[in-house]
Structure 1
Amino acid sequence: MTGFSESMVSMRSDRLVAILLMLQRRDVVTAPEVAKELEVSERTARRDLDALSMAGIPLYSVRGRHGGWRLLGGGRTDLSGLTAGEARALFLVSGSAAATTPAVKDALRKLVRALPEPFRDEAEAAASAQVVDPHPWGSSRVDQSPPDFLDALYDAVILGTQVRLGYISSAGIETDRIVHPLGVVAKGLFWYLVAHTDAGRRTFRIDRVSAVMPTEEPVQRPLDFDLAEAWHQIADTIDRRRAPVEVHATCAPEGIGFLRTAVGRDLEVGNADADGRIPVVIHGHSEYGLAGHISGLVEWLDVTGPHGVRNHLATIGTALAERYSPRGRFDDE
């Protein structure tokens, strides 16, 4: 990511925007002032201010009795000290929070108005170029370094230009095609490109991209396209494919907490029935696997289907009773 340090990426985007707005309003801000206004520790405030400076934002510290942090060039009425790359970096890291946080959206609008005119279009594009989805798909991968072509694809999204994309599928087949980059998503430890192609909208895992060649042709971007909403639909479809089995059941209210702990995001919870029981749907990879997963919750859970899961539960119950029955064992008499 252009201009990013690791500390910049790890900062909360809402704090980033809030600190910059504080710097715009005041000649000088101090770490205690930032800590008090944002309700964080002074250590966190200093770390965030240092991260902004290390990331290339034109921010400097002033020592002495009346010292603190200032934006280069004043920054009271605009952010003219920002270069085009710095403006894009700022809005790129803030964009993922803007997708879901109204307060950050408002702050970004104010910052856009404060930017020098030539930077505004790219800054607005950067704010909607990325979505962060922190929920992994169960990967054990430990390499968290950004993939090789991430910056090039960010540029294509922000500048709105088509690219010729080399791509290697999960089966090892390499293809070459023209795509219209619409946005980048960080999902767990992986990065994905959402793009329009001749075959419709497609998702590409960026660590499988083998080449990115920009063209001079503009991206054909749907007027109502929203990256966060599009990714929600994509992720939901993929989740269904990865977990095609659905268990339908009702759960006693006191068992919902245990059920959430057991199955996590694979659980859908409905509204309580007249008798107080709560209808639920549990998603999984196989009937036997799901039966084993929920077999310890039978005290609260009444599985209504499918029949295969009910049969597996009965088999598991019989096996448990036979193995752990006290008959034939020494009693504690």
Structure 2
Amino acid sequence: MRADRLVAALLLLQARGRVTAFELAEELEISVATARRDLEALSAAGIPVYPQPGRGGGWSLVGGARTDLSGLNAAESQALFLLLGPAGSGDPELSSALRKLIRALPATFRSDAEAAVRAVVSDSAGWGEQDREPPALMRSLRNAVVRRLKVRLEYSGRGGRSTERTVDPLGLVDKDGVWYLLAGTEAGQRTFRVDRVTSAEVTDLPAQRPDDFDLSAEWSRVVAEMEQRRSLVSAVVLIDARFLPVLRSHFGRHCEVIGQDGGRVRARVAAHMARSIAERLAGWGAMVEVVEPESVRAELARIGLELTGRYAKGPDVA
């Protein structure tokens, strides 16, 4: 979780007054690029952290070295706790850390900081869905990543077949409520869905982690590859412009406007199979016209015949 790194970076700045991205990376055992992004995130949130170029430069916390949070003004403390509050809402340890940080503030700022923590709630469940709790194994996996220890996993694949393997944990990612573990294996780097991990045993063996590994950059690469696989088939459709936002909500980044056709928008949508596109569009009826390819049109026709065969005569009456 990046929130704990941001707190650690802030406290390090307060203790030293000035640090370089390299020094922060060494202290927190992260890449220099990640350290630089964390410092930029603090600055963007309104914390008085500024870069100083040139020899002897680095990142400084305006006001000099401090050992507590008493140097923050009211606006800066609110910015910090607005940034960290949602992250701590589901983590008892981080919530405890936030309470301790609040107590370190001047008394006049504490009420506003507490209000900032409560101002934003992160709710990962969609409408009509149950809350999605992090998998029970998260604590073990998180500790293995931090301590750089190998993990023996029992993993259930797509076909339900269970396999055992020993991996080098590299990082954990929360993707819309679903957790993924990036890890090194004998076959190279792999991505595991944590909810398919049936057991995880942290060993005493040191894990291998590339010195230049950047979790954010690596996850972006994984997402790009996955999105490419999910969009192997595309279709051109015509739709009334007022319904375009709804179409985009169905296809996400795989919906692209490519032109106009009279009073309608011409768009390209994509998925991993022609059948998947047809299934998403079938509920639109005549509101969407598929121009091409023929494979998607044929799938829509098949779905239409199935529905007609079942419902055209109406319900059976005993």
Measured against the shorter chain, the TM-score band is 0.5 to 0.7
- Taking the aligned partners of 2:124 and 2:236, their CA distance within structure 1 comes to 24
Task: Indicate the SS of the match to 1:228.
Answer: helix
Question: In percent, how many aligned pairs have the same letter?
Answer: 23
How many residues end up aligned between the 2 structures?
A: 236
Q: Which residue of 1 aligns with 2:169?
A: 181
1:217 to 189, 206, 216: 206
Query: How far, CA to CA, are the matches of 2:240 and 2:3 in structure 1?
Result: 52
Measure, in 1, the Cα distance between the counterparts of 2:131 and 2:214.
29
- Answer yes or no: is 1:144 the counterpart of 2:132: yes
Contact 2:240 2:265 (C-alpha < 8 Å) held by counterparts: yes
**Separation in structure 2 between the aligned mates of residue 199 and residue 68 of structure 1, nearest angstrom:** 53
**Which SS does the other structure have where 1:180 is aligned?**
strand
Match of 1:269 among 215, 239, 256: 256
TM-aligned CA distance change 1:143 to 1:281, over 3 Å:
closer
Find the counterpart in structure 1 of residue 155 from structure 2: 167
CA contact (8 A) 2:235 2:296 kept: no
Matched with 1:203 is: 191
**Matches of residues 12-27 of structure 1 in structure 2 within 5 Å?**
14=41, 18=45, 21=48, 25=62, 27=70
5+ residue gaps, structure 2: 5-37, 50-60, 64-69, 89-93, 111-122, 313-318
In 2, distance between residues paired with 1:221 and 1:46?
29
- 1:169/1:267 Cα in 2 relative to 1: closer, same or farther (>3 Å)? closer
What is the rounded CA distance, in whole Å, between the counterparts of 1:217 and 1:175 in structure 2? 22
Does 2:282 match 1:292? yes
Equivalent residue for 1:68, pick from 85, 106, 109: 109
Given that 1:248 and 1:306 are in contact with CA atoms closer than 8 Å, whether structure 2 keeps it comes out as no
Q: Bigger shift: 159-168 or 188-197?
A: 159-168
TM-fit CA distance, 1:197? 0.9
Q: Which moved more, 1:248-257 or 1:193-202?
A: 248-257
> How much does 1:193 deviate?
0.3
What SS does the aligned partner of 1:286 have?
helix
Residue 222 (structure 1) shift: 7.1
Change over 3 Å in CA distance of 1:174–1:310 after alignment to 2: closer
1:32, 1:305 → 2: CA distance? 56
Instruction: Give the secondary structure class of the aligned counterpart of 1:153.
Output: helix
Cα deviations across residues 145-176 of structure 1 (Å, max 9, x unaligned)?
A: 32233233223333433332233335444332
CA distance in 2, matches of 1:188, 1:311: 30
- What amino acid sits opposite 2:109 in the alignment? G
Contact 1:183 1:195 in 2 (8 A): yes
Distance in 2 (CA, whole Å) between partners of 1:193 and 1:240 is 20
Query: How far does residue 186 in structure 1 lie from its aligned partner after superposition?
Result: 0.5
1:204 shift after superposition: 1.5
Give the aligned partner of residue 91 of structure 1.
Answer: none
The TM-score normalised by the length of structure 2 is 0.53
Give the counterpart letter for 1:68 in structure 2: F
Alpha carbons of 1:165 and 1:51: their partners in 2 closer, same or farther (altered >3 Å)?
closer
Do the aligned partners of residues 166 and 47 (structure 1) sit closer, same or farther apart at CA in structure 2, a change above 3 Å counting?
A: closer
Spell out the pairing of 1:235-246 with structure 2 (5 A cutoff): 235-238=223-226, 245-246=233-234
Structure 1 pair 287/151, CA: closer, same or farther in 2 (3 Å)? Answer: closer
Deviation at 1:242, TM superposition (A): 6.2
Q: Is 1:154 paired with 2:142?
A: yes
Alpha-carbon distance in structure 2 between the residues aligned to 1:142 and 1:28? 42
Instruction: Please tell me the residue identity of whatever aligns with 2:152.
Output: R
Check the 8 A contact 1:247/1:309 in 2, yes or no. Answer: no
In the TM superposition, residue 215 of structure 1 has moved relative to its aligned partner by 3.4
Specify whether residues 268 and 147 from structure 1 end up closer, same or farther in structure 2 by C-alpha distance, changes over 3 A only.
same
Change (3 A) 1:55 1:250: same
* 1:246 alignment partner AA: S
Matched AA of 2:210? R
- Once the two structures are overlaid, the 10-residue window that deviates more, 211-220 or 245-254, is 245-254
Confirm or deny: 8 A CA contact 2:124 2:177 kept in the other structure: no
Mapped contact 1:147–1:207 kept (Cα < 8 A): yes
8 A Cα contact 1:161 1:181, kept in partner: yes
Q: How far is 1:309 from its partner?
A: 1.9
Inter-partner Cα distance in structure 2 for 1:222 and 1:249: 47
Q: Distance in 1 between matches of 2:175 and 2:167?
A: 21
1:280 deviates by 1.2
Deviation at 1:254, TM superposition (A): 6.1
Instruction: Identify if the C-alpha distance between structure 1 residues 297 and 192 changes in structure 2 by more than 3 Å, giving closer, same or farther.
Output: same
Does the 8 Å contact 2:238/2:261 carry over to 1? Answer: no
Structure 1 CA distance, aligned partners of 2:206 and 2:245?
A: 52
For 1:199 and 1:45, the matched residues in 2 are separated by 38
Contact 2:77 2:109 in 1 (8 A): no
Q: Is the 8 A contact 1:193 1:203 kept in 2?
A: yes
